Structure 1
Protein backbone atom coordinates (compact mmCIF):
# COMPACT_ATOMS: atom_id res chain seq x y z
CA UNK A 1 0.00 0.00 0.00
CA UNK A 2 1.16 3.51 -0.77
CA UNK A 3 2.00 5.61 2.27
CA UNK A 4 1.19 9.22 3.09
CA UNK A 5 4.77 10.21 2.31
CA UNK A 6 4.28 9.15 -1.29
CA UNK A 7 1.21 11.36 -1.69
CA UNK A 8 3.05 14.26 -0.05
CA UNK A 9 5.97 13.89 -2.48
CA UNK A 10 3.65 13.73 -5.50
CA UNK A 11 1.71 16.78 -4.27
CA UNK A 12 4.97 18.65 -3.65
CA UNK A 13 6.22 17.84 -7.15
CA UNK A 14 2.95 19.09 -8.60
CA UNK A 15 3.19 22.35 -6.68
CA UNK A 16 6.84 22.88 -7.61
CA UNK A 17 5.98 22.25 -11.27
CA UNK A 18 2.84 24.39 -11.35
CA UNK A 19 3.95 27.51 -9.43
CA UNK A 20 6.76 28.58 -11.82
CA UNK A 21 4.24 28.41 -14.66
CA UNK A 22 1.48 30.20 -12.78
CA UNK A 23 3.47 33.13 -11.38
CA UNK A 24 4.47 34.74 -14.73
CA UNK A 25 0.97 34.27 -16.14
CA UNK A 26 -0.62 35.77 -13.03
CA UNK A 27 1.65 38.81 -12.83
CA UNK A 28 2.13 39.48 -16.56
CA UNK A 29 -1.40 38.93 -17.89
CA UNK A 30 -2.92 42.11 -19.22
CA UNK A 31 0.42 43.96 -19.29
CA UNK A 32 2.08 45.27 -22.43
CA UNK A 33 5.64 43.98 -22.76
CA UNK A 34 8.32 46.13 -24.42
CA UNK A 35 9.21 45.19 -27.99
CA UNK A 36 12.85 44.43 -27.13
CA UNK A 37 11.70 41.98 -24.45
CA UNK A 38 9.39 40.15 -26.87
CA UNK A 39 12.23 39.94 -29.41
CA UNK A 40 14.48 38.54 -26.68
CA UNK A 41 11.87 35.94 -25.71
CA UNK A 42 11.61 34.88 -29.36
CA UNK A 43 15.29 33.85 -29.25
CA UNK A 44 14.84 31.37 -26.40
CA UNK A 45 13.70 28.36 -28.51
CA UNK A 46 16.71 28.71 -30.85
CA UNK A 47 19.06 29.04 -27.88
CA UNK A 48 17.65 25.94 -26.18
CA UNK A 49 17.81 23.93 -29.41
CA UNK A 50 21.42 25.00 -29.96
CA UNK A 51 22.35 24.12 -26.39
CA UNK A 52 20.92 20.63 -26.88
CA UNK A 53 22.23 19.90 -30.39
CA UNK A 54 25.72 21.39 -30.57
CA UNK A 55 27.34 19.28 -27.82
CA UNK A 56 25.90 16.14 -29.42
CA UNK A 57 27.09 17.11 -32.88
CA UNK A 58 30.59 18.36 -32.11
CA UNK A 59 31.75 16.41 -29.05
CA UNK A 60 32.07 12.75 -28.14
CA UNK A 61 33.13 10.55 -25.25
CA UNK A 62 33.69 11.18 -21.56
CA UNK A 63 35.30 13.62 -21.01
CA UNK A 64 33.87 15.44 -24.01
CA UNK A 65 36.34 15.70 -26.90
CA UNK A 66 35.77 18.02 -29.88
CA UNK A 67 35.21 16.10 -33.13
CA UNK A 68 34.46 17.87 -36.38
CA UNK A 69 33.88 14.98 -38.79
CA UNK A 70 31.70 12.57 -36.84
CA UNK A 71 28.82 10.81 -38.62
CA UNK A 72 26.37 12.96 -36.68
CA UNK A 73 27.97 16.19 -37.88
CA UNK A 74 28.27 15.01 -41.47
CA UNK A 75 24.60 13.95 -41.48
CA UNK A 76 23.51 17.22 -39.87
CA UNK A 77 24.74 19.42 -42.73
CA UNK A 78 22.59 18.00 -45.56
CA UNK A 79 19.72 17.50 -43.13
CA UNK A 80 19.84 21.20 -42.25
CA UNK A 81 19.86 22.14 -45.93
CA UNK A 82 16.84 19.91 -46.60
CA UNK A 83 15.04 21.46 -43.62
CA UNK A 84 15.67 24.98 -44.91
CA UNK A 85 14.61 24.10 -48.45
CA UNK A 86 11.52 21.98 -47.74
CA UNK A 87 10.37 23.32 -44.34
CA UNK A 88 8.89 19.87 -43.80
CA UNK A 89 9.52 18.06 -40.53
CA UNK A 90 8.77 14.64 -42.02
CA UNK A 91 11.11 15.04 -44.99
CA UNK A 92 13.81 16.45 -42.72
CA UNK A 93 13.60 13.58 -40.23
CA UNK A 94 13.59 10.94 -42.96
CA UNK A 95 16.55 12.61 -44.67
CA UNK A 96 18.54 12.88 -41.46
CA UNK A 97 17.84 9.30 -40.42
CA UNK A 98 18.63 7.97 -43.90
CA UNK A 99 21.92 9.83 -44.16
CA UNK A 100 22.94 8.84 -40.64
CA UNK A 101 22.01 5.20 -41.31
CA UNK A 102 24.00 5.23 -44.56
CA UNK A 103 27.05 6.77 -42.85
CA UNK A 104 26.80 4.28 -39.99
CA UNK A 105 26.94 1.40 -42.48
CA UNK A 106 29.92 2.91 -44.32
CA UNK A 107 31.92 3.73 -41.17
CA UNK A 108 31.46 0.29 -39.58
Structure 2
Protein backbone atom coordinates (compact mmCIF):
# COMPACT_ATOMS: atom_id res chain seq x y z
CA UNK A 1 0.00 0.00 0.00
CA UNK A 2 1.43 3.33 -1.01
CA UNK A 3 1.57 6.39 1.20
CA UNK A 4 -1.16 8.15 -0.82
CA UNK A 5 -3.52 5.18 -0.41
CA UNK A 6 -2.77 5.08 3.29
CA UNK A 7 -3.46 8.81 3.75
CA UNK A 8 -6.70 8.54 1.77
CA UNK A 9 -7.77 5.54 3.86
CA UNK A 10 -7.10 7.36 7.14
CA UNK A 11 -8.91 10.47 5.86
CA UNK A 12 -11.88 8.32 4.82
CA UNK A 13 -12.00 6.61 8.22
CA UNK A 14 -11.86 10.03 9.87
CA UNK A 15 -14.81 11.25 7.81
CA UNK A 16 -17.02 8.22 8.35
CA UNK A 17 -16.50 8.39 12.11
CA UNK A 18 -16.41 12.17 12.59
CA UNK A 19 -19.39 13.22 10.47
CA UNK A 20 -21.99 10.93 12.12
CA UNK A 21 -20.89 12.21 15.53
CA UNK A 22 -20.70 15.91 14.74
CA UNK A 23 -23.66 16.25 12.39
CA UNK A 24 -26.35 15.46 15.00
CA UNK A 25 -24.67 17.80 17.48
CA UNK A 26 -24.47 20.58 14.92
CA UNK A 27 -28.09 20.18 13.82
CA UNK A 28 -29.75 19.35 17.14
CA UNK A 29 -27.38 20.84 19.72
CA UNK A 30 -29.55 23.86 20.53
CA UNK A 31 -32.93 22.15 20.20
CA UNK A 32 -35.00 20.35 22.82
CA UNK A 33 -35.92 16.85 21.65
CA UNK A 34 -39.38 15.41 22.34
CA UNK A 35 -39.56 13.11 25.36
CA UNK A 36 -40.44 10.07 23.21
CA UNK A 37 -37.35 10.61 21.04
CA UNK A 38 -35.12 10.89 24.11
CA UNK A 39 -36.67 7.70 25.52
CA UNK A 40 -36.15 5.90 22.20
CA UNK A 41 -32.54 7.07 22.00
CA UNK A 42 -31.87 5.83 25.53
CA UNK A 43 -32.39 2.22 24.37
CA UNK A 44 -29.79 2.39 21.59
CA UNK A 45 -26.67 1.65 23.72
CA UNK A 46 -28.27 -1.44 25.27
CA UNK A 47 -29.47 -2.66 21.88
CA UNK A 48 -26.06 -2.20 20.27
CA UNK A 49 -24.28 -3.89 23.17
CA UNK A 50 -26.72 -6.80 23.02
CA UNK A 51 -26.20 -7.16 19.28
CA UNK A 52 -22.44 -7.25 19.78
CA UNK A 53 -22.45 -9.67 22.73
CA UNK A 54 -25.15 -12.16 21.69
CA UNK A 55 -23.09 -13.85 18.96
CA UNK A 56 -20.04 -14.01 21.23
CA UNK A 57 -22.09 -15.67 23.96
CA UNK A 58 -24.32 -17.98 21.94
CA UNK A 59 -22.26 -19.02 18.91
CA UNK A 60 -19.18 -21.13 18.37
CA UNK A 61 -17.84 -21.78 14.88
CA UNK A 62 -20.99 -20.23 13.40
CA UNK A 63 -23.49 -22.51 15.12
CA UNK A 64 -25.57 -22.28 18.28
CA UNK A 65 -23.63 -23.53 21.32
CA UNK A 66 -25.96 -24.14 24.28
CA UNK A 67 -23.95 -26.22 26.71
CA UNK A 68 -22.56 -26.05 30.23
CA UNK A 69 -19.13 -26.14 28.59
CA UNK A 70 -19.87 -22.72 27.08
CA UNK A 71 -18.19 -20.57 29.73
CA UNK A 72 -19.51 -17.35 28.21
CA UNK A 73 -23.10 -18.58 28.47
CA UNK A 74 -22.64 -19.88 32.02
CA UNK A 75 -21.09 -16.56 33.13
CA UNK A 76 -23.83 -14.59 31.40
CA UNK A 77 -26.60 -15.51 33.85
CA UNK A 78 -24.99 -14.29 37.10
CA UNK A 79 -23.79 -11.21 35.20
CA UNK A 80 -27.37 -10.56 34.10
CA UNK A 81 -28.49 -10.82 37.72
CA UNK A 82 -25.81 -8.31 38.81
CA UNK A 83 -26.93 -5.94 36.05
CA UNK A 84 -30.57 -6.26 37.09
CA UNK A 85 -29.90 -5.77 40.80
CA UNK A 86 -27.32 -2.96 40.64
CA UNK A 87 -28.15 -1.21 37.34
CA UNK A 88 -24.50 -0.11 37.41
CA UNK A 89 -22.27 -0.67 34.39
CA UNK A 90 -19.09 -0.86 36.49
CA UNK A 91 -20.45 -3.62 38.74
CA UNK A 92 -21.91 -5.45 35.76
CA UNK A 93 -18.69 -5.47 33.74
CA UNK A 94 -16.56 -6.27 36.79
CA UNK A 95 -18.92 -9.03 37.85
CA UNK A 96 -18.98 -10.41 34.32
CA UNK A 97 -15.20 -10.60 34.24
CA UNK A 98 -15.09 -12.33 37.63
CA UNK A 99 -17.84 -14.79 36.66
CA UNK A 100 -16.14 -15.55 33.35
CA UNK A 101 -12.81 -16.18 35.08
CA UNK A 102 -14.48 -18.40 37.67
CA UNK A 103 -16.38 -20.44 35.09
CA UNK A 104 -13.30 -20.85 32.91
CA UNK A 105 -11.38 -22.17 35.93
CA UNK A 106 -14.20 -24.40 37.19
CA UNK A 107 -15.40 -25.82 33.87
- Whether the TM-score (by the shorter chain) exceeds 0.5 is yes
Matching of residue 65 in structure 1 with residue 64 in structure 2: yes
Question: Who wins on radius of gyration, i.e. which is larger?
Answer: 1
1:11 is matched with: 11
Greater displacement, 8-17 / 32-41: 8-17
Unmatched tracts of structure 1, length 5 or more: none
Matching of residue 89 in structure 1 with residue 87 in structure 2: no
C-alpha change, 1:22 and 1:55, in structure 2 (3 Å) is same
> What's the Cα RMSD here?
2.7
Aligned residues: 104
Query: Tell me, what secondary structure is at the counterpart of 2:9?
Result: helix
Aligned equivalents of 1:88, 1:9: Cα separation in 2? 34
TM norm structure 2: 0.71
User: For 1:68-91, what per-residue CA distance to the aligned partner results, in whole angstroms no more than 9, with x for missing partners?
Assistant: 532222222223334444547268
Aligned equivalents of 1:88, 1:16: Cα separation in 2? 28
Q: Is the 8 A contact 2:82 2:91 kept in 1?
A: no
Query: Tell me, what secondary structure is at the counterpart of 1:32?
Result: coil
User: For 1:33-65, what per-residue CA distance to the aligned partner results, in whole angstroms no more than 9, with x for missing partners?
Assistant: 1100000000111111211222222x2322322
Q: Is the 8 A contact 1:72 1:100 kept in 2?
A: yes
Q: Which has the higher contact order (CA 8 A, sep 6+)?
A: 2
